[in-house]
Structure 1
Amino acid sequence: MKKQWIIACLIGIQGVNVQAQQPSKYPYQDTKLTAEQRADDLLQRLTLEEKVALMQNNSPAIPRLGIKPYEWWNEALHGVARAGLATVFPQAIGMAASFNDELLYEVFDAVSDEARAKNRRFNERGQYKRYQGLTMWTPNVNIFRDPRWGRGQETYGEDPYLSGRMGMAVVRGLQGPEDAEYDKLHACAKHFAVHSGPEWNRHSFNAENIAPRDLWETYLPAFKELVQKAGVKEVMCAYNRFEGDPCCGSNRLLTQILRNDWGFKGIVVTDCGAIGDFFQRKKHETH
């Protein structure tokens, strides 16, 4: 089921990457079917090795099935990033100071328009590199709890309510109408969870002894709202540990809370290299 959702999400956002512009040879190439139906058909045709390859950051092409390569990593913190010229909007912390989530929606509706146009141009040129796809690792809804945190400007501040409102506006602007046939982009709620510095030891830091009230009223509300109210399609697990386990291997965070309690059915993506932290020296070394 989890593999089906990953493939379904990829089809839902990047349906043209499965070469549907040609006459349909297989059911998964039929755009009249739902993303779930197409994913179910495609999964039956993929080998185990191909399934594993498609779950990587840089998914390779599978020519025998007409699947083009896809790079999942892209950024849009305050505009389309690292892909040539684009409109640059104020930093996230500055936009949060407006307290205007309707305006933030308009900003990211424009960002997603630019991203779609750029992606179309890249695809026409046969380019499928990093920062050229439609899966944006935005927004950052961590709580800015310490002004010394070097990435605090990426957040919407110290208020869980404001972070949730702003984060939902970003998700809706990036992904487009929930009832559309295809998503404009994928948004990604990051970094899940209890990740707000210190930055220097984020690969080994253990967030422990978190009071239940702080966890549920400060650190988690924005993520919950993005999942349950805005329908965010991706969630990025954080580098740090939570109660002893790396966030990207935390049964409590990823299964009990995110999947079971909140009903999230989308993609969980790790922060860059986070799996390696499980076993590397001077990092988590927990597995």
Structure 2
Amino acid sequence: MIIIDAHQHVWDRTRSRYAWLSADAMGPLRRDIGLAEGLRHLDAAGIDGTVLVQADDTLADTELMIETAADPRVLGVVGWVPLDRPDEAQQLIMDRSPLLVGIRNLIHDRADPNWLLTDPVDRGLAVLERAGLPLDVPAVLPRHLEVIIEVADRHPELIIVIDHLAKPPIGLTEREPWWTLIGEVGRRTNVLAKVSGLYAAGDDPAGWTADQLTPYVDRALEVFGTDRLIYGGDWPVAIIGGDYERTWPAVRGCLDRLSELEQAAILGGNAIRWYRLDPLRVDAAVAARSAAAGIRK
């Protein structure tokens, strides 16, 4: 089974601002973090390769990830283009690196939850749709899910990947409106979701148990099936949720009841399929991890 972590970050604060790191809860992350540190956690978990995902709405952040992708373990990059400037976005996409496999903008940091529905952004989404590039969406509000429904209907050929299952209310007593809205979203067959970043809602992201994750992963399986879910480890943000050594076994445990083929799809196959990862690069990543494991032995 090939296992791919389809949601990992790197950042260098001399290259981009990463303003969101200034939040109090981000204290352990308020430093430069490169690929090697994350790969140590992935190696311990038996992860073969990774997809880097943007952490700032700047070209500098995307350039950093493309440079980092010189490492064979990096299978692709979900980068940034200015969706609200569609002509510029189109030129950047035309000139893109072959390692660019998706686009993300930090919509959850914007005051307007309807930003994806504004006219210039809608034209930017049409650019992605024509180019066949998936859109990652860091949805955190119920309104974000409502917006995704409308975007998916407007752009039926655009593949939309909801990051972190849209932050379900883990540890809270009330499951709505997430429970119903995720079901509505899942009816759109061009929408996928990442089983990633599943931390406790509220002030203590690490205050969750594996049992609390299970109903939300089960709901995602019910809604999206095993062919539209993608695993992501969300490192290094996972540090504030208990770190990779805690989050990875919890996710694996939620998938234990599935067949080996179903697990293989979620843990690697779907990332290869939906992000159109280069199969030769995937093979090279598997070989690189195997070689590294042999050295450690």
User: Which of structures 1 and 2 has the larger relative contact order (alpha carbons within 8 angstroms, sep 6+)?
Assistant: 2
What TM-score do the two structures reach when normalised by structure 1? 0.39
Larger Rg: 1
What TM-score do the two structures reach when normalised by structure 2? 0.38
Q: Which has the higher helix share?
A: 2
